Structure 1
């Protein structure tokens, strides 16, 4: 079976990100392309890692959390530790979002109260 490789422009085009972003993730130690002269050659594993990074960012994970999940990847070990850690991080993120939602709702109530007071004060100044 032959290995599949990607150029930086292939990955950028496929995943709709910039080559600069890919180089940044490489600098952070999250991707490890081979080098052929000046050219970066990315493996299927790099492609999967990049997809995990982008998915993690979309759901609010930090780069450090994404890196931790990528480092736990162990195809020989069945990825149990990676999946357990991912589930923990999902639960944490869900709890953070729930708290943010409660905070937003409280702020909306406070804004409603402030607005009502302003309307009442404006009505008194017009009377």
Structure 2
């Protein structure tokens, strides 16, 4: 059974990407289409790697991290070591996001405190004056 192939336009439409973005992923080594003259022919493997690349981006991983993880699964190395590395990358990224979340919560708390002060000051200026 022949494997399915895709054009750059088909992948761009399916994933709601520009063809330029797909070519960039190719330049980064995330995709490796065959060539038919000037036309790129993407395999099911390329499509799967694109899916996983976009998932990694949604998780906040860099394209370099995504490539490193994808390339681990292409190599015949020990699966346990690959999973350890993957867990390490995810753990580091989770820690960064948690730190950002803590900072954001502190900023939100400060904004709420400033809003409360501003509302109190506004209320004092709006009270009717007694004659």
Cα distance in 2 between the residues matched to 1:27 and 1:19? 12
The aligned runs of 1:61-76 (5 Å cut-off) are 61-74=61-74, 76=76
Other-structure match for 1:117 = 117
Which is greater in Rg?
Answer: 2
Other-structure match for 1:52 = 52
Cα distance in 2 between the residues matched to 1:46 and 1:81? 24
| RMSD of equivalent CA atoms | 2.1
1:72–1:81: 8 Å Cα contact kept in structure 2? no
Q: Which runs of 4+ in 1 moved over 6 A?
A: none
Deviations 1:76-116 (A, max 9, x none): 44644333222222222222222222212211221122122
Deviations 1:12-62 (A, max 9, x none): 233232222111111222211111101101122211211111001111111
Structure 2 alignment gaps of length 5 or more:
none
TM-score (structure 2 length as normaliser): 0.80
- Aligned to 2:54, the other structure's residue is in SS state helix
Structure 1 alignment gaps of length 5 or more:
none
Say how many residue pairs are matched.
127
- Aligned to 1:73, the other structure's residue is in SS state helix
The alpha-carbon distance between structure 1 residues 76 and 2, as it changes in their structure 2 partners (threshold 3 A), is farther
Other-structure match for 2:10 = 10
